[in-house]
Amino acid sequence: MGYLDGDALAGGSRMKWKILAVSALAILASGSFAHPEPPPRSERAPPSAGPGSGPAPFWATGWKPGYAVPSAWTPRYFHYETRYAAVVETNELIFETFADGTASWIARALPQDLLAKPDECLNWRWSADTLPSLTEREDTLTGDVFAARVYVFGEFEGGEPFGFNYVWTTQKRQGDYWKSPWSDNKLMALRRGKNASRALVAESRSVIADVSRAYGKTPVRIDGIALMTDAEGSDSIAAARISLPKFGACDLPIS
C-alpha cells in the first residue's frame, strides 16, 4: 500500500475520504497497534550520556521497531521505542504517539525547493496531550525531551546540511530559538504547556524565515521531515498527536 501524500489528504471529497479510510485501515491491519512494551525501566540501559555533532542523520538506522512502520516512513532508534499509531481523526490521517521514558522517531522524504517556492508554508496540526515531567532545563542533555517535535532536514547553499526542530515545549517561551545540546540542530518553541482542550492546533510556518532566523543564513532546499515524541531524559511519559506535515499555500497568516 502506498502512503497517502499531502495532496491525497487535502480536500473533502467522498472518494478521497474513502481512500484515506481504506489506507488507514490497511495500516491498522498491518499491526500499527501491536506495540511490544519496552522492558521495565529498572532493566533498561541508561540513555546516551554525551552529545554528537552535526545534524542528526536523517536516514541512518539499523533498528527494526516492534510495530508496523507505514510505507514511505523510516524509523530511527535513540532509546527504546516511542510508539506511533496511524489513525483517522476528522477525515485526516493522524499519528498518535506515546513515549514511556523512550525516544525514537519516524522520518520520510519530503523534497522541497525553497527558492522555487518561497511563499509556500509547511502546514500541519498537532496536540501535546501529555507533557514529560522535567527537573532540568530543556536546553540541557537530560531536559531535551518534548511531547511533540516536527523535524525539518535540508541544505544551505553549497550543500551544507541542517536540522531544525519545531517543538511543543514544557518550559521554553513561544518563539524561543536555541541549539540542541546533542547536536548542531536548532530548535524553535511553537507551543508551550499541555493542550487542555485536546483539539488539534493548526500550524503554518515559513521554513525559509524560521531557519534563517535560527542559523543566520538562508536554506535552499528541504530533503525530509521526522516526527518524534521523546521522554528518555526525564524518565517519564509523553504523548501527542501529529498530522502529516505538507508544503503548500499557507493555511494561516505567517507570524
SS3 content of the chain, % helix, strand, coil (to 5): 15, 40, 50
Question: Is the residue at 54 inside a domain?
Answer: no
Question: Is the residue at 52 inside a domain?
Answer: no
Residue 82: which domain range? 6-45+63-248
Radius of gyration of the chain (CA): 17
Question: Is the residue at 18 inside a domain?
Answer: yes
Question: Is the residue at 34 inside a domain?
Answer: yes
Tens of pLDDT along the chain (255 residues) come to: 222 333 333 333 333 333 333 333 333 333 333 334 556 656 655 555 444 444 444 444 555 666 777 778 888 878 878 888 888 877 888 999 999 888 889 999 999 999 999 999 999 999 999 999 988 999 998 899 999 999 999 999 999 999 999 999 999 999 999 999 988 999 999 999 999 999 999 999 999 999 999 999 999 999 999 999 999 878 789 999 999 999 999 999 887
Chain centre to alpha carbon of residue 92? 17
Do 146 and 237 touch, CB atoms closer than 8 A?
no
Question: Is the residue at 53 inside a domain?
Answer: no
Question: Is the residue at 208 inside a domain?
Answer: yes
Domain count, the chain: 1
Domain harbouring 89, CATH code: 2.60.120
Q: Cell numbers of 117, please?
A: 517556492
Question: Is the residue at 14 inside a domain?
Answer: yes
> 3-class SS at 186?
strand
Question: Is the residue at 58 inside a domain?
Answer: no
What is the model's pTM? 0.78
What's the angle, vertex CA 117, arms to CA 112 and CA 118, rounded to 5?
A: 110
Q: List, in sequence order, every residue forming a beta bridge with 74; answer none if it has no partner.
A: 107
